[in-house]
Structure 1
Amino acid sequence: MNNQQRIEMIEKEVGEDLGKLPAGMGMLLKTVVFPQLKTVPDTELPAVREAVAHIILMLKKAFDL
């Protein structure tokens, strides 16, 4: 499975959750973030994965998850 396929799978799985986010946040993920993540070249994937993992960790801390 390539990066684009992974992002498409995530989009499908979180589709309903996007509607539960405050106005604009879900739309931003759907129209900007996910499409941009699909275009990350393989050479940049390790750095992007590291950054995304760090962002997720910080969000977990912020929301006590």
Structure 2
Amino acid sequence: MSQKMDAIQKIIGETVVKLCEKKVPVSKDSITERLLRVIHKDSADSEKGRIATSALEFLAQSES
């Protein structure tokens, strides 16, 4: 589980950095949108796609 959380934190961190580089306001919505793009760009079976999906699930759970 720790490895999964590390991977989720890493992809969310990378997403935030990319948003900052593009001068896009960092919000939960912009992070979610960027993760959705990653999922659609990579195959669902790829490691990056699975991690992005897990990150989205994590963000959704944090809203509850």
Fold-level similarity (TM above 0.5): no
TM-score, with length taken from structure 1: 0.30
